[in-house]
Every structure is written in C-alpha cells, then in structure tokens.
Amino acid sequence: MARKRIGELLVEAGAITREQLDAGLAAQAQTRKKLGLTLVEQGTLSEAQLAHVLAASLSLKVVDLRATPVDWSAVHMLRARFCESHELFPYGIEGKGTAQKTLLIAMSDPLNMSAQEEVAFTTGLKVRSVVATYGQVREAILKYYHKITLDDGDKMTVVDRGGAARDVGDARPPPPPADDEPAVVMGEEIKSGPSPVPPPPAASGKKQSLGAAVSKDLDFLFGGEAEDSESIEKLERHFWALMRLLAKKGVLTRDEFFKELEKEP
C-alpha cells in the first residue's frame, strides 16, 4: 500500500484545505523546502498544529524537547549533520543494560522512513520515533551538538567550556548538510558526558563517502539518476531494506559494511 504524504494527511485531518495544499505545493516547488515548513511559513498552520496533526494521524506521541530530559548517550549515537539533514534529534535510550535497547528520536517529519531505517541499521538498535516541532528539533541540535542556545527573541548564545555566555546575534539555520554524511558515530554506545560530540571532520577526497557510494550503486541497481525527492527516498528505502536483509542473513555485519565503505575507490 502506498505511503501517504504529509499534505494528504493534513487535508484528511481537516487541518488545511485542498486549496491551501495546492498553494503550499506551488511555493514548495520554488523554495525546495519541506512542505510542512512551507505551510508554516505561509501562515496556513502553526508548528504545534502541524506536529499534533501528524502525531494523531500516525498514532504517535508528541514530545516537548524543551521539557524532556536528554540522554547524552543517545545524542552521541548520531552525527549532527545527519540530524540536521533529516530534521530529527536522538534524545533517549530505553532498555539500557538489556538486549532490547531502543533509541528514541524526535522527528519533525515522522514520515521519513528511510532516515529511521538508516538509524536502525547503523546503530544496531531498535528505533522509536515521536513527533516534535521543527523549531524544537533545530534548537536541540544547536544546543547539544553545537553548544548554541536560543532565547525567546531567537538570538544565539554560545556557551564556552568555562560556562561564560556570549551573544552572537540573530539565529541562523544550520548550513545545509552534505548528503554524504554517515548517520552514526561508529563504535559502542558512548556514556553520558559533560560535552557534546564535536562536528565531524571533513571527508578526505580519497575516501568514498556514504552518499557517493550509495548514489553510484543505486543508479546501477535501479536505472538512472533520481530526479526528485520522492524517487531518492524510494531508492533509500530499497537500499536500507537490502542492507537489513543481508545483515539478518549473516552475509555482512555493520562493521564490515563501514570498513568496505572507507576503502579507496
């Protein structure tokens, strides 16, 4: 059965009209932003309304990241650039010390199944998603990965290691993340600590990145270059489904996958 998209869910829930959806899609075609964010920017609905409608439609919970304790070991599981790219934030781990550990991720786009599949494969954990507003996800990424906090006026404050704070002006969205950034910080779960994960180093020109390898292989497997985000998302779902199947059958492990990925072309 075909997976419904955000616009369809919003219309079915009565949150927006068909005319408002068409206007949002027309604007999205120009800006290339996510449809939900486009509708919010147009004033069609608020971030909170968008989050609650999506959560109700998908039978998911809504999390308030500003009031929820964050587990540093969850933050360390994923890279900042991956979180920025997919508008998600890892905030907790259930079942620590058991074989049934589950990584909790807050998503502004809970329909992004390929991102959830990639997180599950690369971390080796079960994943449970909840819904959060785009603004709260963005604030959490800035705070826990980049040590930047936002005040009510959307001003940025950087907190240094000595605890001193300095105002750095108006907040700006994070720079567009590269498509080739691996999702996971490799290795075992990192224990809680006082400082966040540093930004990942720039990829070496000699090493084949995840995005480059996936793009080349998917073009070969599925025939040609994807022309739109829906096609890319479909290819990503196929890829991660294939990786999970190979892992279940014992054909490869996560360590073998990433070791092979880092080989020079």
- Residues 76-135 have pLDDT tens digits of 999 999 999 999 999 999 999 888 899 999 999 999 999 999 999 989 899 999 999 999
Q: 53 with 106, same domain?
A: no
Residue 249 lies in a domain: yes
pLDDT class of 251 with cuts at 50, 70, 90: confident
Which tops the pLDDT comparison, 218 or 231? 231
Side-chain half-sphere exposure of 87, counting CA atoms within 13 A: 19
Residue 240 lies in a domain: yes
Cβ(29)–Cβ(19) below 8 Å: no
pLDDT at 228: 54
Residue 136 lies in a domain: yes
Q: 78 with 162, same domain?
A: yes
pLDDT class of 221 with cuts at 50, 70, 90: very low
Residue 1 lies in a domain: no
Over 90: is that where the pLDDT of 59 sits?
yes
| Percent of all residues in the chain with a pLDDT value above 70, rounded to a whole number | 60
Q: 84 with 195, same domain?
A: yes
Cβ(70)–Cβ(92) below 8 Å: yes
Q: 174 with 76, same domain?
A: yes
Average pLDDT over residues 204-210: 45
Average pLDDT over residues 64-76: 96
C-alpha–C-alpha distance, residues 122 and 184, integer Å: 6
Give the residue from 160, 167, 155, 166 showing the smallest Cα distance to 194. 160
Q: 142 with 247, same domain?
A: no
Q: What is the mean pLDDT of the chain?
A: 75
Q: 174 with 219, same domain?
A: no
Residue 33 lies in a domain: yes
pLDDT at 245: 72
Q: Domain holding 100: CATH number?
A: 3.30.300.160
Q: What is the DSSP string of 161-219?
A: TTS-EEEEEE--PPPPPPTT--SB--SSPPPP-SSPPPPPPPPPTTSPPHHHHHHHHHH
Q: 100 with 136, same domain?
A: yes
Q: 187 with 78, same domain?
A: yes
CA distances from 184 to 29, 97, 102, 226, 258 (A): 31, 20, 15, 25, 11
pLDDT at 20: 94
For residue 195, what are the domain limits? 60-202
Over 80: is that where the pLDDT of 181 sits?
no
Q: 151 with 164, same domain?
A: yes
pLDDT in tens, 141-169: 999 999 997 665 555 444 443 444 444 44
Q: Among 29-33, 184-188, 256-260, which range has the highest average pLDDT?
A: 29-33
pLDDT class of 200 with cuts at 50, 70, 90: very low
Cβ(217)–Cβ(210) below 8 Å: no
Residue 166 lies in a domain: yes
Q: 196 with 243, same domain?
A: no
Residue 44 lies in a domain: yes
Q: 30 with 112, same domain?
A: no
Residue 106 lies in a domain: yes
Q: 64 with 18, same domain?
A: no
C-alpha–C-alpha distance, residues 135 and 42, integer Å: 16
CA distances from 161 to 38, 110, 195 (A): 37, 34, 8
Of the three residues 16, 34, 57, the one that is the final residue of a domain is 57
Name the domain count of the chain. Answer: 3
